[in-house]
Amino acid sequence: MDINIDDVKKLKTLTGVGITDAKKALVEANGDFDKALEAMRIKGLAKADKKSAREAKAGVVHAYVHDGRIGVLVEVNCETDFVARTEDFTNFAHDIALHVAASAPSFIKREDISEDALDNEKRLIEEELKNQDKNPEMIQNIMKGKVEKFYQENCLMEQGFIKDPDTSIEQYTKEIIAKLGENIVIRQISRVELGGV
């Protein structure tokens, strides 16, 4: 089967794999570029999950100021200084800072939320639901849904990426891990807004 060399190059660029792997993926997909890309993403995400156990101590602290009104600092870690200096890694850190400026997450992941904060949120939801004429099972389901929504609105990793709302920050991070071949961790975020409390 003849494989288009432009498709091989394009697949290599999009996934960060070598020419041989890109060509192999296209052969396995019978020349269908979209199928090959999807297969490479799935393989890459599986590898990314394995890499997440590796220690990430290198990286950058990236600063972003939006319109002189919102300032953001993010610490993004990777395994080596070599990767920390790449354009892809720098762009990723910048994207995370942009996202934090726009979406104002309070936490990085749901495990960062204290029991007190979560209990308080549940108490507020219960208060909101207590006068509704619904059976207890339905109220439990509504409660569960509202807690999930709280996570999605307040946890960076669960928010839809501002440049691609269908992709969560967690998915975007896994794609970058797959592309760069190293574990990447968003370690700290800080957002300051002029006149904010």
pLDDT of residue 48: 52
Asked if 189 and 100 touch (Cβ cutoff 8 Å), the reply is yes
- Domain extent listing, the chain: 5-51, 58-108+155-193, 114-154
Instruction: Tell me the pLDDT band of 156, cut-offs 50, 70 and 90.
Output: very high
pLDDT score for 20: 78
Measured distance CA(40)–CA(14) in Å, rounded: 10
% of the chain at pLDDT higher than 70: 88
pLDDT of residue 158: 95
Q: CA–CA separation, 157 vs 135, rounded Å?
A: 33
Average pLDDT, the chain: 85
Distance, in Å, from the CA atom of 111 to the CA atom of 170, rounded to the nearest integer, reads 14
pLDDT digits (tens, 9 = 90+) for 90-139: 999 999 999 999 999 999 999 998 888 888 888 888 888 777 777 778 87
Element (H, E) at 78: strand 70-78
Output helix, strand, coil percentages for the chain, rounded to the nearest 5.
55, 20, 25
Q: Which long-range contacts (CB under 8 A, 24 or more apart) does 139-148 make?
A: 147/118, 147/121, 147/122
Residue 36 has pLDDT above 90, yes or no: no
Q: Is the pLDDT of residue 27 over 70?
A: yes
How far is Cα 77 from Cα 165, in angstroms, rounded to an integer?
Answer: 24
d(CA 44, CA 151): 26
* Predicted confidence (pLDDT) per residue in 51-68, tens digit: 555 677 889 999 999 999
Return the CATH architecture of domain 5-51. Answer: Orthogonal Bundle (1.10)
The residue-averaged pLDDT of 149-165 equals 93
CATH fold match for the domains 5-51 and 58-108+155-193: no
Domain range 58-108+155-193, CATH architecture: 2-Layer Sandwich (3.30)
Mean pLDDT of 150-174: 93
